[in-house]
C-alpha cells in the first residue's frame, strides 16, 4: 500500500514539474487544438476512432503540429491498451517485447494494443520490418509519427498497411487557443501585446509557443505576463508588424524583386521572417512572381521558386530560410517579362467580352464513332509529320483569326522564342 502511495506521489510531482506543453496534452479528441480536417465532426480520423475501427496510421507533419498529442487523444478515446516509445532510443528488442505484451493482452482478455512510435523515420529498415507481422495480423495497431516524408522514410510494406494523415501547421486561431489554455493552466494573466507577440512568432508550432509561454510565466513570477517577459522568453525584441505592415512589406518584397534589387529583396524577406510571417505565404508569392514577372524570360525561375516551396515543406524553418533567400535572389537577378501573365489576362478578358467563336472543324475530336460523318478532324495536319515541326493552319475560331494575346519580349530566353505567323515576333519563319 505504501509503495502505491509513494508511486502516486512521485507521479503527481512529475506532472507538476513537467513542461507546460506536456501538462496540456489532450486526453480525448475533443481536447485537440487545430487539425480540424482530421478530428472535426465527421472527419476521417474522428470517425475511425469513435467507431473503434482505426487501423495502423502514420501521422506526418512539421514539428509542433500535435502528432504526439493526437496519438494520446486517440488513446484516451479507445478501450485499447496504449504503449509509447521513441525510435530515437528504442530497438528491435523493445519492439519484440511490446509485441509479446500485445499478444498476451489479446489472448487473455481480448484487448487490442496501440503502439505509438514517435519519429518512426529514425527506425532502420530491419527495425521497421520487425513491426510488420504484428501490424499485418492485427496484434498491434501502429501509430507512427514523423516529420519526414513517409514515402521516403517508411518502408513500402509498412506504409501500405497504414493510413496516412497529414498534419498542418497550426493556424492563428488554434495558437491563440493554446496560449489561452496555457495562461489558464498557470493561473496567470497577460497583456494583449504579449500574447500577440507569442502568436506572431509561433510559426504554427504549438509546442514552441507553449514552451515560450512557460518561460514567460516563470519570468513574471507567475503573476502577469508583460511584453518584456515574452521578448526575453523568445530571445528577441518585438518587431512592429501589424496588418498594414503585412501588406506593405510583402509589396516592397515583390517590387524589389521586380526591380532586380537582390539586396532589397533579401532585406524585406528578412523583415517578414523576423516578424513571424507565414513562410508558406512568402513561398507562394515567389511562385506567383516567377510566372507573373519573370515568365519565359527565364523559365528556370519557376523551377527555383517551386523547389524553394517544396524545400520549406520538407525542411521547415529556420533552415528553409536558405532556400527562400536563394529563390528571392535568383528571381531578383533573373531577366524579367510579364508577357505570359498578360497573355492569360488579356485572353480571359476577351472571352468575358464575348470572344467565344466555334472550334474549327479540323480541330474537333474525331475519335468517336460518327465523328467523321460530321467532318470532325477532317483536314487536320499533324505538325510532327512536317520536316519543320509545324504547319501553317488555323487554330483559333474563324471569328478570332489573326488575334494575338501572347507577344514575346526581347528579354532573356524569351527573345529567342519564334512565333509563327506573327509578323511582330522575332525570327519569323
pLDDT at residue 418 greater than cutoff 70: no
Measuring CA to CA, how many Å separate 408 from each of 7, 217, 288, 389?
A: 77, 60, 19, 20
Provide the pLDDT for residue 329. Answer: 97
pLDDT at residue 50 greater than cutoff 60: yes
Mean pLDDT score across all residues of the chain: 85
Provide the pLDDT for residue 297. Answer: 94
Residue 315, strand partner residues: none
Burial class (CB in 10 A: 0-12, 13-18, 19+), 246: middle
Report the predicted TM-score, pTM, of the whole model to 2 decimal places: 0.57
Dist. CA 146–CA 103, nearest whole Å? 26
pLDDT at residue 12 greater than cutoff 60: no
**Which of 6-15, 185-194, 376-385 is most confident?**
185-194
For 223, other C-beta atoms within 10 Å of its C-beta total: 11
137 within 8 A of 55, measured Cβ to Cβ: no
For residue 406, give the nearest of 393, 395, 422 by alpha carbon: 422
pLDDT tens readout for residues 337-394: 999 999 999 889 888 888 878 888 777 876 776 666 677 777 788 888 888 887 888 8
Provide the pLDDT for residue 426. Answer: 42
pLDDT at residue 239 greater than cutoff 70: no
Please give the helix or strand (H or E) that residue 193 lies within, else none.
helix 192-200
pLDDT-derived band of residue 244, with 50, 70 and 90 as boundaries?
low
6 within 8 A of 13, measured Cβ to Cβ: no
**Which of 27-41, 179-193, 390-404 is most confident?**
179-193
Provide the pLDDT for residue 14. Answer: 43
Dist. CA 312–CA 62, nearest whole Å? 10
Cis peptide before 378 (omega within 30 of 0): no
Measuring CA to CA, how many Å separate 10 from each of 16, 21, 26, 214?
A: 10, 20, 21, 22
Amino acid at each position: 500500500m505504501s509503495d502505491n502511495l509513494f508511486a502516486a506521489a512521485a507521479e503527481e510531482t512529475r506532472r507538476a514539474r513537467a513542461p507546460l506543453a506536456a501538462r496540456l496534452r489532450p486526453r480525448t479528441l475533443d481536447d485537440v487544438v487545430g487539425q480540424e480536417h482530421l478530428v472535426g465532426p465527421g472527419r476521417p480520423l474522428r470517425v475511425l476512432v469513435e467507431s473503434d475501427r482505426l487501423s495502423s496510421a502514420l501521422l506526418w507533419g512539421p514539428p509542433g503540429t500535435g502528432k504526439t498529442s493526437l496519438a494520446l487523444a486517440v488513446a484516451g478515446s479507445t478501450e485499447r491498451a496504449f504503449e509509447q516509445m521513441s525510435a530515437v532510443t528504442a530497438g528491435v528488442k523493445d519492439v519484440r517485447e511490446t509485441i509479446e505484451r500485445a499478444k498476451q493482452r489479446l489472448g487473455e482478455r481480448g484487448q487490442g494494443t496501440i503502439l505509438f512510435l514517435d519519429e518512426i523515420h529514425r527506425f532502420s529498415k530491419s527495425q521497421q520490418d520487425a513491426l510488420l507481422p504484428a501490424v499485418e495480423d492485427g496484434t498491434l495497431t501502429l501509430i507512427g509519427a514523423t516529420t519526414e516524408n513517409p514515402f521516403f522514410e517508411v518502408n513500402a510494406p509498412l506504409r501500405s498497411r497504414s493510413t496516412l494523415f497529414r498534419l498542418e501547421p497550426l493556424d492563428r486561431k488554434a495558437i491563440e487557443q493554446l496560449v489561452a489554455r496555457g495562461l489558464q493552466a498557470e493561473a496567470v494573466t497577460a497583456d494583449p501585446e504579449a500574447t500577440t507577440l507569442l502568436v506572431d512568432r509561433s510559426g504554427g508550432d504549438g509546442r514552441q509557443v507553449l514552451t515560450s509561454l512557460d518561460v514567460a510565466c516563470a519570468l513574471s513570477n507567475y503573476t502577469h505576463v508583460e511584453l518584456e517577459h515574452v521578448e526575453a522568453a523568445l530571445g528577441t525584441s518585438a518587431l512592429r508588424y501589424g496588418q498594414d505592415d503585412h501588406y506593405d512589406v510583402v509589396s516592397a518584397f515583390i517590387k524589389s524583386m521586380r526591380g532586380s534589387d537582390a539586396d532589397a529583396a533579401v532585406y524585406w524577406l528578412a523583415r517578414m521572417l523576423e516578424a513571424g510571417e507565414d513562410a508558406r505565404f512568402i513561398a507562394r508569392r515567389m511562385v506567383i512572381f516567377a510566372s507573373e514577372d519573370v515568365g519565359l524570360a527565364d523559365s528556370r525561375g519557376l523551377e527555383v521558386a517551386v523547389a524553394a516551396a517544396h524545400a520549406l515543406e520538407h525542411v521547415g524553418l529556420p533552415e528553409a530560410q536558405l532556400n527562400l533567400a536563394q529563390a528571392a535572389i535568383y528571381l531578383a537577378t533573373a531577366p524579367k517579362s510579364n508577357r505570359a501573365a498578360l497573355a492569360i489576362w488579356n485572353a480571359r478578358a476577351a472571352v468575358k467580352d464575348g470572344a467565344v467563336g466555334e472550334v474549327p472543324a479540323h480541330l474537333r475530336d474525331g475519335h468517336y464513332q460518327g465523328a467523321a460523318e460530321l467532318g470532325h478532324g477532317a483536314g487536320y495536319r499533324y505538325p510532327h509529320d512536317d520536316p519543320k515541326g509545324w504547319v501553317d493552319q488555323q487554330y483559333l475560331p474563324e471569328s478570332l483569326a489573326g488575334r494575338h494575346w501572347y507577344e514575346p519580349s526581347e528579354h532573356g530566353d524569351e527573345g529567342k522564342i519564334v512565333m509563327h505567323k506573327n509578323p511582330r515576333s522575332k525570327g519569323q519563319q
